[in-house]
Amino acid sequence: MGTLFWKFFIVIWLALLTMGGGMGAAFWLRHNPALNANGAEPQIAVNSAAPYLNAANLIFSKSGVNGLRSFLAEFRHNPALPPLFATDDFGKDLLGREVAPNILAQAKSLAASHSNGVRRIKTGEGQTYLLFALYSENNPSTNPRPLQPDPPPPWLPITLGFFISLIFSGVSAWYFAKPIRQLRSAFAAVAGGDLNTRADRTMGQRHDELADLGKNFDHMVSQIQLSVNVQQRLLHDVSHELRSPLARIQTAIGLAYQQPDKIPLMLERIEKESQRMNDLIGELLAISRLEAGVIGKLEVVDINELITEIVEDARLEADSKNVEIDLNIAGEIFLQGYYDLLSRAVENVLRNAIKYTRSHSKVSVDAKLGVSGHQLHIDITDQGPGVAETELSSIFDPFFRGSHSQKSQSIGLGLTIALKALETHHGKINVSNRVEGGLKVEIILPVT
């Protein structure tokens, strides 16, 4: 469960809890008799009754139960005095008055807690009485306990709950809406063409799904930016590459006009340059098809057949340089793939090897399955100058031509196409200079 889930969960829960708490408090206040019946119930006077209790105690000690009885009777008849009671163990008052059970319970609990609102007196016969005065409306001095402050009106907790949940909801809505607003403006900026926009910077310290969304957005924009840059560079390189043969064709035409005797030579030049332009456009089309995913039909490819065919085609070129091709395929190898793409990848690497190896040297092609049987390795090695270590990482870039290449015969797209074709097959291509000289290109393809 994601962090955003818990944030939503806690916020909604707390808002409901606050509102529910307010309603609950209101309900409780409304129905709690202790709070609502403030002072209506008879109560035992506590501190303020002390002088009357002292007097009653004195009379009892002097004149016994009878003296106390008449003292109580006097209090009973004088409305200016608080009602004074003396109850025995059975809750019976000395004057035979009815004593409410809650008053008896109060008296017992006050006596147990040695409160000076109740005196415990004992007769010679062992009878115990609890002596206490009741709070009387007529005797405010006997106020039993400070009056409870009025309970808050029930609308107060509801209103409080309402406002707290309002603030809560407002803050949470702002908290959740802010990153979405930021993302929205980031989207708008990117849609407006500003590919330098990043959303994560504005997300602060967040660590939730919205922050992840910001990171994913940034990743997406970086990828788009990269791809746009690559395309722009390619477009720039393509125009540059097309311009050179075109310029040469125009020069040749100009020369042919000026010197008609050179027409055959110029025509030959024009043919060569147009062939170069044709090759260039062909390779560019191959790249664009690969990028667009127009890659033909997936089939079971017989690697033996594929490599043999390429090697046979290349022999003519190799022979003209007295280059020997040493072909070595270990057993029958089949894999699921696109025949034309694989063929193009291997052919580009092999043609490079033949092109760059020394005359009278050897190019080796070795194909074998890896130890696990899940990978096909095609190693193509030559005996040429290899590639400068600083150039090794660039040789797959479009239009890259190394220091050893003959610029007039190179376009610099062969390895770019090979890499893309192999990536389509989830394969890899590694290049390294051999210790004994020459380049080793290793093609690795998964065999399923």
Exactly one of 308, 410, 424, 432 binds ligand ATP (CB under 6 A); that residue is 410
The binder of 382, among ligand ATP, Mg ion, none, by C-beta within 5 to 8 A per type, is ligand ATP
Produce one character per residue of 217-227: b if its CB has 16 or more CB atoms within 10 Å, e if not.
bbeebeeeeee
Pick the closer one to ligand ATP by CB: 29 or 444.
444
Q: Which of 31, 219, 236, 240 is catalytic?
A: 240
Q: What three-state secondary structure class fits 122?
A: strand
Pick the closer one to ligand ATP by CB: 84 or 354.
354
List CB contacts of 37: < 8 A, sequence separation 6 or more: none
**Minimum gap (Å) between residue 424 Cβ and ligand ATP:** 17
Which residues of the chain form contacts with Mg ion (CB under 5 A)? 352, 414
Is residue 340 within 8 Å of 418, Cβ to Cβ? no
Which x/- pattern over 338-377 shows residues binding ligand ATP (rule: CB under 6 A)?
A: ----------x---xx--x---------------------
Cα 238 from Cα 240, distance rounded (Å): 5
Burial class for 179, CB neighbours closer than 10 Å (0-12, 13-18, 19+): buried
Decide: is 210 part of the binding site for ligand ATP (CB under 6 A): no
Decide: is 412 part of the binding site for ligand ATP (CB under 6 A): yes
List CB contacts of 211: < 8 A, sequence separation 6 or more: 179, 200, 203
List CB contacts of 326: < 8 A, sequence separation 6 or more: 362, 363, 364, 365
Cα 198 from Cα 187, distance rounded (Å): 9
Find the binding residues for ligand ATP in span 417-446 (CB under 6 A): 439
**Minimum gap (Å) between residue 192 Cβ and ligand ATP:** 37
Rounded-to-10 torsion of CA 303, 304, 307, 311: 180
Exactly one of 24, 42, 402, 437 binds ligand ATP (CB under 6 A); that residue is 402
Exactly one of 382, 425, 427, 445 binds ligand ATP (CB under 6 A); that residue is 382
Decide: is 142 part of the binding site for ligand ATP (CB under 6 A): no
The binder of 356, among ligand ATP, Mg ion, none, by C-beta within 5 to 8 A per type, is ligand ATP
**Minimum gap (Å) between residue 379 Cβ and ligand ATP:** 12
Q: Which helix (H) or strand (E) holds 303?
A: helix 303-320
Task: Quote the Cα angle for 14-17-19, to 5°.
Answer: 110
List CB contacts of 274: < 8 A, sequence separation 6 or more: 245, 249
Exactly one of 8, 168, 339, 400 binds ligand ATP (CB under 6 A); that residue is 400
Decide: is 383 part of the binding site for ligand ATP (CB under 6 A): no
Decide: is 76 part of the binding site for ligand ATP (CB under 6 A): no
| Catalytic-residue membership of 240 | yes
Pick the closer one to ligand ATP by CB: 214 or 412.
412
Query: Which amino acid type is present at position 317?
Result: E
- Nearest to 71, CA basis, from 82, 93, 55, 51: 55
Cα 427 from Cα 448, distance rounded (Å): 12
Pick the closer one to ligand ATP by CB: 12 or 285.
285
Task: Please give the residue whose beta carbon sits closest to Mg ion in the complex.
Answer: 414
Pick the closer one to ligand ATP by CB: 136 or 352.
352
The binder of 401, among Mg ion, ligand ATP, none, by C-beta within 5 to 8 A per type, is ligand ATP
Is residue 239 within 8 Å of 284, Cβ to Cβ? no
The residues annotated as belonging to the active site are 240
List residues near ligand ATP by CB under 6 A.
348, 352-353, 356, 382, 384-387, 395, 400-402, 404-405, 410-416, 439
